[in-house]
């Protein structure tokens, strides 16, 4: 027999499903705007079943994925700095980012075009200049480098933990280890059904990562979940890989990227391209194996021989992919009091504070002045109807 659900007498202005990166920032944003907020997560973030696993994430502005992201990235950078001040802990570390690849080919050209279109400062380096300035790298003569000085890395665990702490200090009620079974909505109320109770709110925000497709199954979102691997290495020459000596870096080879050595962690590397799809968000996720790690070791040997192959540890995370790799941020087409953000395709973390602003606008005003039109749901539904 199904357990009888009890409904709490307290009614919230907004309920948020998913308290990882986007959800925790959205809860803070809504609470700051005077809303009573309840948030739910089937785990306790940060955790290894989201796209935020791996301790650090890249922040960059010269955006090869499309110039539409540039103003959002710029706004997010200001908000990351503001969050650091509010929470008393540096979250965004601006080390710069070095892109490396064959000169004139698409990898570097797209970064340069994004910078030019948005009047962003970048610096172009020859292979020799790269090696002299950043001795960790030894790239071929026909390669070049582009430095994005505004880029850096974000402390993931500190960002999420401090966001949740700030949310609770603002009165947000957080329900961890509470899987959401379902939800329903009318024009004036939403209900979130947990295992043993139902909680009501005027509006609903869904930021459930790999579980977003299931929670929004009626929309038939074309989302797929991909397993990704990240690994940390103990460098042979640590001083070349220190945070003050090298920037975030990315190679044209399958968009292999990495971070300077963070004390106690080592040099992190991962491959943005590729990866294996899993059946759904609840599928078992295999640990990293040789097929995952050998390509990282090969890239390090090719371009960073002083890094070596001494593996410290590895872990996995889940990307939730859209067909075009762009995000979805929109109102539900049937219920304007239900908004959602999904399909961040492995490059969304850096935008968390500005996505939170957009979600806050959509909840309270039904629209936003932020330039997120290219992230609307309709673009994907139109493709499905063709």
Each residue of 296-327: pLDDT tens digit? Answer: 999 999 999 999 999 999 999 999 999 999 99
Are the beta carbons of 33 and 364 closer than 8 angstroms? yes
Q: What is the DSSP string of 65-84?
A: T-TTHHHHHHHHHHHHHHHH
Polymer length of the chain:
386
Average pLDDT over residues 118-133: 97
Nearest one of 244, 286, 246 to 269, comparing CA atoms: 246
Name the maximum alpha-carbon separation found in the chain.
Answer: 71
According to the model, what pLDDT value does residue 104 have?
A: 84
Higher pLDDT among residues 2 and 305, named by residue:
305
Are the beta carbons of 57 and 153 closer than 8 angstroms? yes
Q: What is the DSSP string of 328-373?
A: EEEE-SS-TTEEEEE--TT--GGGHHHHHHHHHHHHHHS--SSS-G
SS3 249: strand
Give the pairing of strands 197-206 and 190-193.
Answer: antiparallel
In the chain, pLDDT over 70 holds for what percent of residues? Answer: 97
According to the model, what pLDDT value does residue 53 have?
A: 75
| Per-residue confidence band for 334, with pLDDT thresholds at 50, 70 and 90 | very high
Cα angle, residue 104 at apex, residues 101 and 107 outer, rounded to 5°: 45
Are the beta carbons of 193 and 5 closer than 8 angstroms? yes
According to the model, what pLDDT value does residue 67 have?
A: 87
Question: Mind listing the domains of the chain with CATH numbers?
Answer: 6-51+157-223+324-385 (3.50.50.60), 97-149+224-321 (3.30.9.10)
By mean pLDDT, which of 7-11, 139-143, 151-155, 318-322 is the weakest?
7-11
| Per-residue confidence band for 244, with pLDDT thresholds at 50, 70 and 90 | confident
Structure tokens at 111: 């970064």
According to the model, what pLDDT value does residue 7 have?
A: 63
In the chain, pLDDT over 90 holds for what percent of residues? Answer: 88
Average pLDDT over residues 230-251: 95
According to the model, what pLDDT value does residue 54 have?
A: 79
According to the model, what pLDDT value does residue 46 have?
A: 83
Distance CA 22, CA 30 (A): 12
Q: What digits encode the pLDDT tens for the residues 158-190?
A: 999 999 999 999 999 999 999 999 999 999 999
Compute the half-sphere exposure of residue 333: CA atoms within 13 Å on the CB side of its CA: 13
Distance CA 237, CA 130 (A): 17
Q: What digits encode the pLDDT tens for the residues 185-210?
A: 999 999 999 999 999 999 999 999 99
Query: Whole-number mean pLDDT of the chain?
Result: 94
Q: What is the DSSP string of 83-120?
A: HHHHHTS--EE---EEEEEETTSHHHHHHHHHHHHTT-
Nearest one of 23, 12, 11, 16 to 205, comparing CA atoms: 16
- For the cut 90, the answer to whether the pLDDT of residue 386 exceeds it is no
Cα angle, residue 282 at apex, residues 281 and 283 outer, rounded to 5°: 95
Give the count of beta carbons closer than 10 Å to the beta carbon of residue 12.
23
By mean pLDDT, which of 4-13, 26-35, 106-115, 365-374 is the weakest?
4-13
By mean pLDDT, which of 26-30, 179-183, 227-231, 272-276 is the weakest?
272-276
| Per-residue confidence band for 2, with pLDDT thresholds at 50, 70 and 90 | very low
- For the cut 60, the answer to whether the pLDDT of residue 385 exceeds it is no
User: C-alpha distances in angstroms, 36 versus 83, 172, 216, 278, 356?
Assistant: 21, 7, 24, 36, 16
- For the cut 70, the answer to whether the pLDDT of residue 258 exceeds it is yes
Chain Cα centroid distance, residue 215: 19
Are the beta carbons of 255 and 269 closer than 8 angstroms? no
């Amino acid at each position: 027999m199904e357990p009888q659900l009890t409904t709490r007498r307290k009614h919230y202005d907004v309920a948020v499903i998913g308290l990882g990166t986007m959800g925790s920032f959205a809860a803070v944003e809504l609470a700051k705007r005077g809303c009573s907020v309840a948030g739910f997560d089937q785990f306790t973030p940060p955790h290894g079943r989201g796209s935020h696993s791996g301790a650090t994430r890249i922040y960059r502005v010269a955006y090869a994925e499309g110039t539409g992201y540039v103003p959002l990235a710029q706004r997010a950078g200001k908000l990351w700095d503001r969050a650091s001040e509010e929470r008393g802990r540096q979250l965004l570390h601006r080390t710069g980012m070095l892109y490396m690849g064959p000169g004139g080919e698409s990898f570097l050209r797209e970064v340069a075009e994004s910078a030019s279109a948005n009047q962003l400062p970048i610096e172009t380096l020859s292979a020799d200049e790269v090696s002299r300035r950043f001795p960790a790298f030894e790239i071929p003569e026909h390669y070049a480098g582009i430095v994005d000085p505004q880029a850096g890395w974000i402390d993931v665990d500190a960002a999420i933990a401090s966001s949740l702490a700030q949310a609770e200090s603002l009165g947000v009620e957080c329900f961890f280890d509470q899987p959401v079974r379902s939800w329903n909505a009318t024009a004036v109320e939403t209900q979130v059904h947990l295992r043993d109770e139902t909680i009501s709110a005027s509006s609903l925000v869904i930021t459930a990562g790999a579980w977003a497709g299931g929670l929004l199954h009626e929309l038939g979102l074309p989302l797929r979940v991909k397993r990704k691997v990240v690994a940390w290495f103990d460098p042979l020459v640590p001083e070349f890989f220190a945070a003050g000596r090298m920037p975030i870096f990315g190679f044209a080879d399958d968009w292999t990227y990495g971070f300077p050595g963070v004390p106690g962690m080592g040099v992190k590397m991962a491959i943005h391209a590729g990866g294996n799809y899993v059946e759904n968000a609840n599928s078992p996720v295999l640990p990293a194996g040789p097929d995952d790690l050998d390509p990282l070791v090969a890239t390090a040997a090719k371009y960073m021989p002083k890094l070596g192959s001494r593996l410290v540890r590895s872990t996995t995370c889940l990307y939730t992919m859209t067909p075009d790799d762009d995000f979805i941020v929109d109102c539900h087409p049937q219920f304007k009091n239900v908004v959602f953000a999904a399909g961040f395709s492995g490059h969304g973390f850096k935008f968390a504070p500005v996505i939170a602003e957009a979600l806050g606008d959509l909840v309270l005003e039904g629209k936003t002045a932020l330039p997120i039109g290219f992230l609307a749901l309709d673009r994907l539904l139109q493709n499905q109807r063709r």
